[in-house]
Amino acid sequence: MKKPITLIFLIILALNSFSQDIDIYQKKKNSNYELPYLNSQTSFEEFQLLNRTLRLQDMAYAAVVPGYVHFKVKEPIVGYSMVALRTAGYGGILYILNDGSFSLTELINNSPSSSADVDKFNQQKTIAYASLGLIFSTYLFDWIHGKHRLEKKQERIRYKYGVKLNLAVQTDQSGNFNQPMLGVRVNF
């Protein structure tokens, strides 16, 4: 009796185990094989937008690639702005590192050595805070605003085709149902 129970347990375990996925939302099947039902007027861009979801791994990518979410949401102008701002942020950090007068930790902790030039320290502190602010704010903006834009766009697409589908079978202005029927009608 023990053997069949162990076998059943092993089968259940095998069915519920998946290949490695860094995301916490695991997919139980490969959705790439599913052919979606699409409205005949759907453009490829609309299909792409509907098909895209922001997942945990995208959050990690957005930290590395500036403007990643906005590029994914098909808003390249905002995406490139993010690239420019993040580059400016990295530029500021590089300037501090290249100058070498103070370390980044010193500047952030606001703890200059006793022999430090106070004016220079304050100047570099401003640059450090501004640069780090730019890097983090662009990352957060990219993630939060990008997610908001994607949801808005998806809502608009779903609304458009959903309403059209209903409008096609609703009653006309005189209250008649526009459903397939047989009969003879003469228009004058």
Partner 1 sequence: MKKFIFLIILIPIFNLGKAQNLQSEYRYLCLVKSQSSQLIKDNLRNAEIYADSLFLKDIPQTELAALFFKELGDNYSAIGKADLALFSYLRQRFLYPNDSISLYVEQQMRINATKLNMDNQSTEYLIQRSSHYNLSSEKETNTNKLLYSSIQIETKNLSTLLLHYLDLAKFKNFTPSDFILKWEDVSRMHMPLKYKIDYVNRDFKSLNNKQQERYYCTLTRFYIQQKAWGMAQETYQKLKNLQPEKPKNKPCLKARIDLHL
Q: Which residues bind partner 1 (CB under 8 A)?
A: 41, 43, 156-157, 159-160, 163-165, 167-170, 172, 178, 180, 182-183
| CA-based torsion, 72, 30, 154, 169: positive or negative | positive
Contact 70, 82 (CB under 8 A): yes
Comparison of 125 and 149: residue with beta carbon closer to partner 1: 149
The partner residues of 177 in beta bridges, in order of sequence, read 171
Of the pair 3, 185, the CB lying nearest partner 1 is at: 185
Report in angstroms how near the CB of residue 40 gets to partner 1 at its nearest.
Answer: 9
- Residue 174 has which token pair? 């005189």
Nearer to partner 1 among residue 41 and residue 105 (C-beta): 41
The least distance separating partner 1 from the CB of residue 4, rounded to whole angstroms, comes to 57
**C-alpha to C-alpha distance for 114 and 116, rounded to whole angstroms:** 6
Contact 138, 88 (CB under 8 A): no
What would the two tokens of residue 166 be? 């209903």
Of 17 and 173, the one with the shorter C-beta distance to partner 1 is 173
Shortest CB 62 distance to partner 1, Å: 25
